[in-house]
């Protein structure tokens, strides 16, 4: 009984020391990406849907912050993400350079292969561009308070810009992940 109490207490102290210590870093890249995501559109449902679409990018930023940028910040006192427009991000498959553009982002992998996330203001559409080939991700229709999400399997899903629409697209993405894992 006492051992269980001591284990819980030790776990709580360890968790508190990690959570309330400045040693873990500022997570600047993830914070900047989240701040940018919140400013894409004035409609919070659009931003929430884009959050779901950009989950892989959030994973890359979290890994980059946790393993690289926060460690550099701890030892040097400054975070390299804050230094300029081009950022180096450690992802699952290597290191990426992320450059902020006027209309989106340019992402370059270790082999020099470039991918762009481009926003077309006229059509209110975000697209991914690889080797000159554009793949739409989402088109936002403010007048009708909805969006068209272009799914990885080629289907399009019309989503209401509401909590219900957000839940619907999350469920669709989870179902697709489940099917891919099988």
Which residue intervals of the chain are DSSP H helices? 2-19, 28-39, 44-53, 55-64, 70-76, 163-181
Domain ranges of the chain: 24-181
Query: What digits encode the pLDDT tens for the residues 122-181?
Result: 898 989 998 888 899 889 887 888 999 998 888 899 999 888 888 888 888 888 765 555
Cα distance between residue 31 and residue 169, in whole Å: 23
Query: What digits encode the pLDDT tens for the residues 61-111?
Result: 888 888 778 777 777 666 767 644 577 888 778 888 888 776 888 888 888
């Amino acid at each position: 009984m006492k051992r269980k109490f001591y284990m819980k207490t030790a776990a709580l102290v360890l968790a508190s020391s990690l959570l309330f210590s400045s040693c873990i870093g500022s997570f600047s890249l993830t914070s900047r990406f989240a701040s940018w995501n919140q400013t894409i559109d004035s409609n919070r449902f659009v931003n929430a849907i884009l959050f779901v679409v950009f989950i892989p990018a959030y994973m890359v930023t979290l890994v980059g912050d946790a393993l690289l940028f926060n460690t550099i910040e701890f030892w040097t006192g400054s975070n390299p993400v804050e230094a300029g427009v081009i950022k180096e991000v450690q992802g699952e498959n290597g290191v990426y350079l992320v450059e902020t553009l006027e209309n989106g982002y340019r992402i370059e992998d270790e082999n020099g292969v470039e991918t762009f996330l481009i926003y077309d203001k006229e059509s209110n559409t975000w697209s991914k561009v690889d080797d000159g080939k554009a793949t739409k991700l989402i088109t936002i229709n403010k007048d009708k308070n909805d969006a068209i999400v272009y799914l990885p399997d080629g289907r399009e899903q019309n989503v209401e810009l509401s909590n219900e629409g957000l839940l619907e697209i999350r469920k669709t993405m989870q179902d697709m992940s489940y099917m891919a894992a099988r």
